[in-house]
Structure 1
Amino acid sequence: MLETAVDSPAGGLVCVIGGSGFIGSWLVRRLLDRGYSVHATKELLEPAVKGTLNVLRAAKDSGIGRVVLMSSKAAMVPNPDWPADKVIDDDSWADIEILKKRQLWYNVSKTLAEKAAWDFCAREEGLQLVVINPGMVLGPFLTPSVNASLHWLLQLVQGQKMDMDLYMGCVDVRDVVDSLIVLYESPSAQGRHLCMESVERLVDFTNHVADLFPELPVQRIKEDKQGWVVRAKDPSKKLIDLGVHFTRLGVTIRDTVDCFKSKGLI
C-alpha cells in the first residue's frame, strides 16, 4: 500500500506512506526535486483495510485536509456487469465474490481498502480523498530488489510462460508518481483516476516485449483469452487533462529491461 497524506502547498511538507518501495522511492525523489520536504515511512504491515483506515484517521486527527490514496486497477476488474463493448473506466468496481472464488486476495484487499477509504471520507467532514488506480507498474527501479510486477516481467524475459487473466495494461512508474503529485497539487481533482498508458491484452504485451528483444527467450501468448478487454489508447483522460504525459509502452519496457541488465539480473 502506498498513500500520500499532504497538508501544505507546493514546496511544503509531505508524508509518504511506503516511501521505501518501488513507487514510493520514485515519489520521494520527485517530491524532493520539486522542493518539498518529505517525511517517509515504510509500508504498513497491518491488513489493508485496517491500515488504510488508521492512516485516514491519523490524517484527520493531524489536521491534514487532503489525502491521495494509491489503489489499483485491481479494484476495477473483473466486473461482470460492465458493458462488453465499453472500455474500463473509473466507474468500474471489481466483483468481490468473483475475486474470492478465484482466491485473488491481493485484488480483494485493494478493492476493500479503497471502498473503506471512500466510506470513511464520506462520513468525515474536512478530509478530501482522491484516488489513483494504476495498471501494472513497470519502469527502472531505485530499490535493491524487484517487486511483484517487476519480477513478473523478469520471468517473462528469462523465458517463463506467463499467464495473467486480469491483465489490462501497464504504466511507467515515473508517470504514476507524476500523477500522484498532480493530483495533490490540483485541488479540483476529485474521484478515482485510472492510470495506464493504454488498455491492452496480455497477448499484446508479450508480443511487444518479444519484438523489442528478439535475442531474449520471450514466450509469446499463442491464444488470446482476454476477449473481455476492450483495447484503448490514452484511457486515462482525467489525468491527461490535468497535464500528465504518459510514457509509451515500448519505452517503459526497454527502460525496465535495461535496468535489469545494469543490475546483473539478466
Structure 2
Amino acid sequence: MESVCVTGAGGYVASWVVKELLAKGYIVHGTVRDPDDEKKNGHLKKLEHANERLHLFKADLLDYVGVCTAIDGCTGVIHVAMPVPAGKVTSPQAEMLEPAITGTRNVMNACLKSKVNKVVVVSSIAAIFGNPSWPKDRPMDENCWSDAEFFMKTEKWYCVGKLISEREALEFGKKNNLNVVTVCPSIVFGPMLQSTLCTTNIILLNLFKGKNSFNLLEFDKAEEDIHIPIVDVRDCAKALLLVYEKPESEGRYLCSSHVLKTKALIEMLKNLFPNYNYPTDPCGLNEELNYTCEKIMKLGWSHRSLEETLVDSVENMKEAGLLS
C-alpha cells in the first residue's frame, strides 16, 4: 500500500488532501506541530480510515530531522505547509520567509534522502500574478513568474515566500533528478474540516459583517473593486492528487476556477443570503485580470460552481456556530 506524506496536515487545504488520500486507499503520514493538540488536529483523527491509515508526526518544517522521520518510507510527498499572515507582519524574515524557504529546502532534502518518487509543492497564484511587465494582451499562465523585488518593495512577504520557495523547489528537482511538480492555487474558499478559522474564510465571514478585508491576503486596498480569483478547497485538493497521480504531470500548474470582482462577489452573496450587513460598494478599479488554467484542465481537472462553493461555505460556518 502506497504511503504519501502531507506537510502541515492539520491546515485548511492539507486536511482535504489527507481526506482525499485516505478515501483513495493511501497510507498518510501527516506532519503537525503537536499530534496531541485536539483543537488543531482532532478533526484529522475523525476522518474515515484515519484509525487504520493515518499517522501523525510531530515535525516543525525547520526541524530537518523531524521532517526526515515523517517522510521516511513514503513514495511521495505533498508539501502544503505555509504560514498565512493574519495581520501586519512585524518580522518578515522570521515569520514568513524563513519558514517558507528553509522549510521547503528541508522537505526537498528529506525527499532526496528518502528517494521518494514524486513531490507536489503547493505554491500560490501570487507566484504568477505579480509581474508588472507581463504583456497586457497575453493571458497569464505557468510561464509567468512574479517579480520578487516588486513584492519586497510593497512588503508582500507571503508572496515573496511562496515565489522563492517554488522556484527553489523546481530548481532542486532538476539539479538532483527529483520529480518535483508545483501547483499554484488561487484564493481558496469552501467548507472547513478543521475548527480554527483560516484566513480566506475570515475574509468571507467578514463580508457578512459589513467588512471588506481582502487586504489580509496582501492586496493593496481592500476597498477597491479588485478581481478575486477563486478555487474551491475540495477542487484544489483534487487537483493536487491529480497532479500527484498523473505520470505525465510536469512543471507548474495554475489552479483557479472562477474570477469576479469584489462588487460582483458581494452582489452574489446578497442574492444567496440577503439577510446580512454587507460592505458598501467598493470603488472602481479598471485593471483587468487575464489568465488561463488550460494546462491543468488538459490533465483532466474539473471544478464545481461558485454558487456551490459559497453555499457550502456558509452552511459550514453556520454548523460551526460562526454565522447565524
1:213 matches 2:203: no
| 1:151 Cα deviation after fit | 0.9
Conservation of the 8 A alpha-carbon contact between 2:262 and 2:282: no
The question of 1:90 aligning with 2:150 is answered no
Mapped partners of 2:14, 2:145: distance in 1: 25
- Secondary structure at 1:76 match in 2: helix
Query: Match of 2:201?
Result: 150
Residues 257, 220 of structure 1: alpha-carbon distance in 2 compared, 3 angstrom cutoff = farther
Task: Name structure 2 gaps, 5 residues minimum.
Answer: 34-59, 63-97, 221-226
Amino acid paired to 1:25 = S
Q: Partners of 2:261 and 2:145 in 1: how far apart?
A: 19
Select 1:138's aligned residue among 182, 185, 189: 189
What percent identity do the matched residue pairs reach?
Answer: 33
Q: Which runs of 4+ in 1 moved over 4 A?
A: none
Could you list the per-position Cα deviations for residues 114-145 of structure 1 after superposition, in whole angstroms to 9, with x for gaps in the alignment?
111122112112x1111110001111101011
- The count of aligned residue pairs is 252
> Is the aligned partner of 1:193 residue 2:253?
yes
Scaled by the length of structure 2, what TM-score is found? 0.73
Q: RMSD value over aligned CA atoms?
A: 1.8
2:23 aligns with: 33
Per-residue deviation, 1:226? 5.1
1:180-201 CA distance string (max 9 Å, x none)? 1111110101111111112333
Change (3 A) 1:77 1:51: same
Q: 2:170–2:251: 8 Å Cα contact kept in structure 1? A: no
Distance 2:9 2:214 in 1: 30
- Give the drift of 1:153: 0.9
Greater shift, 83-92 or 245-254, is seen at: 83-92
Of the candidates 282, 298, 301, which is equivalent to residue 241 of structure 1? 298
Superposed counterparts of 1:1-266, under 5 Å: 12-42=2-32, 44=60, 46=62, 47=98, 48-125=100-177, 127-164=178-215, 165=219, 168-225=228-285, 227-230=287-290, 235-266=292-323
Structure 2 letter corresponding to 1:136: I
Q: What are structure 1's unaligned runs of at least 5 residues?
A: 1-10
Q: CA deviation at 1:163?
A: 4.5
Query: Aligned-pair distance for 1:221?
Result: 3.6
In the TM superposition, what whole-angstrom CA distance separates every residue of 1:9-66 from its partner, at most 9, and x where no partner exists? xx51111111111111111111111111111112745421111011011001101121
Instruction: Report Cα offsets for 1:228-262 as digits up to 9, x if no partner.
Output: 313x6xx3222222222211111111111111111
Q: Distance in 2 between matches of 1:190 and 1:200?
A: 29
Deviation at 1:223, TM superposition (A): 2.1
Moved more, 31-40 or 237-246: 237-246
1: CA distance, partners of 2:280 / 2:214: 10
Distance 1:197 1:248 in 2: 8
Change (3 A) 1:98 1:12: same
